[in-house]
Structure 1
């Protein structure tokens, strides 16, 4: 039997995919966990940011730093377009609007008329060129066994994790500031905050913009080692992110980082175990059923965590139940 999947699974701890989802989940935690905005459209922010970076880099030939600024600007504009008419909605209504907005973005970039710009269903390849040009690591292979990386993969992993940690520390300090106390108050009772003379809509918009920018930057990390594919930013991505923040702790800063690591390690381990079971006929399922079954396993694990530890793995119990 080949048990190399175990090493590959624990390799997810530092993978670029984990980095991207940790950063996007941190943005969603700002919106949902701290401010109480039930945003089901974080995948839309990732798509907007990813396309802004890929189009400016590949199609327009912009340098890396300018493309990064355009990514931030596109995420801010999308947040304003989405937030101005919707942030006065609450709970389920906001969730419906945001998930619809994310799907509109995904279907828009796939329309035939925009294929010369967005690449349609094929997406955009080659977004890594300007980032790889900044790589100071000498060419070669690094690591051992199945966990071997070339210089470009190692570069994005190092830069990605440094950036995620810096952003997490920034958000941590932000949530300890007066601004953070106000958005937490909005999460608990926005009418009470409004009665104190605070502009609730303004603070909600700021939280939406901040979380959206983090989602857009997460997409950049996700597409640099691979490519930009529109179907990677469907509703499944948003539900993965919600699972991650609930797993780690929606009302904590480092919860999304822990949740992203645990989520991808468990998902990869489940996939490897199921593959062995199908290959050696230990399980009464086919290879086609393997994909859905692994998500069932993750779903059951999430249910158990919600039941027995509603605050998440590193969450604070006193903030586990909020409006």
Structure 2
């Protein structure tokens, strides 16, 4: 039971980590590209890397932190224009080829020894060179904090039945929350939104009761960076909610399903695609900035595999949905940690060592993704009607 508790604690820590939040932001941007517009962008990691480099290099060279954020967004804007101008008038396959190639070019330029004084070459830029101004913004006190100090240890001395009951209630609450999110018009808008908020708060409290987390308030990987990262996730979801329910958002769906029909209405399809590519790329750049706040700017950490992880998370949560990217990202990283930690704990080293357990987790995730695409292509929160892509 203690081993299982360790595994579940690791899963919760991964679920609330700033890197998970950063990838969720990037997946939200990818959802604008692929989910709503039908643009097959295979270089989202390139946008993330440009955002990270723009912020990291600027602060490393002694310029203000706010200017670094602007440089990160500016680099992503230029990258989107360079990609979009020659390819957006063509079909989606060409965009996929160009974006994955361009993202790899950026990664290899970052690794170049000729730019060591700016990018740190393959070693990257240490977090200590650029995270200081971000930590200085913290209004949190010093010391550490355990969220929800009242936890399972305080009930029957943490007996097994307490944790089993807590897990059962948590699973039920999550299932009810997913049902409400997918309920559509079965409930009135006000009642549905109220129940979603109450169930979300209740589920979070249950998780913190079962898996108490203790972190420094303002450390490199403390509550401050987690607070900022997940607050940005909430803001990004709200912005996308407003965008896709506007007339512009309806145009995105129309382009995805039949761009010729939208063009026949006198709309500039190229301009709308370019706007979608830029906005989704800016979300990716923001995700890249958040990704390196708790670590360092490493070019290989944001390679093509990260783009594939983003697509996995998007398909898992549900494309063309508001909360699907966030849910899919959490499920992807939590599931991978569950498989990896479980293999390390329960499988002898003579059969599978730590490195092999990590590889095994990706194999299982890949198989799960194939089964998902076959049996539930719309993902957890998606709608089959949103899958009629014209790419």
Same fold (TM over 0.5): yes
Q: Which residues of 2 match residues 127-146 of structure 1 at below 5 A? A: 127-143=130-146
Higher mean alpha-carbon deviation, 285-294 vs 269-278, is at: 285-294
- Which residue is 1:70 aligned to? 71
Deviant stretches of 4+, over 4 Å: none
Task: Write the distance in 2 (CA, Å) between the matches of 1:233 and 1:287.
Answer: 22
- Which residue is 2:186 aligned to? none
What whole-Å deviation, never above 9, does each CA across 1:205-228 have from its counterpart, x for those lacking one?
Answer: 101100111111101111011111
Matched residues, number: 320
- Which residue is 1:149 aligned to? 215
- Structure 1 length-normalised TM: 0.95
Kept in 1, the 8 Å contact 2:27–2:310? The answer is: yes
Higher mean alpha-carbon deviation, 292-301 vs 102-111, is at: 292-301
- Structure 2 length-normalised TM: 0.79
Kept in 2, the 8 Å contact 1:42–1:102? The answer is: yes
Kept in 1, the 8 Å contact 2:344–2:352? The answer is: no
Q: Which residues of 2 match residues 121-200 of structure 1 at below 5 A? A: 121-125=122-126, 126=128, 127-143=130-146, 147-152=213-218, 153-200=222-269
Higher mean alpha-carbon deviation, 203-212 vs 61-70, is at: 61-70
Task: Write the distance in 2 (CA, Å) between the matches of 1:248 and 1:196.
Answer: 33
**3-state SS in 1 of match to 2:15:** coil
- Which residue is 1:29 aligned to? 31
How far off is 1:287 after superposition? 3.6
1:264 to 333, 341, 350: 333
Q: Which residues of 2 match residues 279-294 of structure 1 at below 5 A? A: 279=348, 284-294=351-361
1:55 to 42, 57, 72: 57
How far off is 1:280 after superposition? 5.8
Kept in 2, the 8 Å contact 1:185–1:193? The answer is: yes
Q: Which runs of 5+ in 2 are unaligned?
A: 148-210
Task: Write the distance in 2 (CA, Å) between the matches of 1:287 and 1:10.
Answer: 20
How far off is 1:146 after superposition? 7.7
- Which residue is 2:194 aligned to? none
- Which residue is 1:295 aligned to? 362
Structure number with greater Rg is 2
Task: Write the distance in 2 (CA, Å) between the matches of 1:86 and 1:92.
Answer: 9
Task: Write the distance in 1 (CA, Å) between the matches of 2:133 and 2:332.
Answer: 30
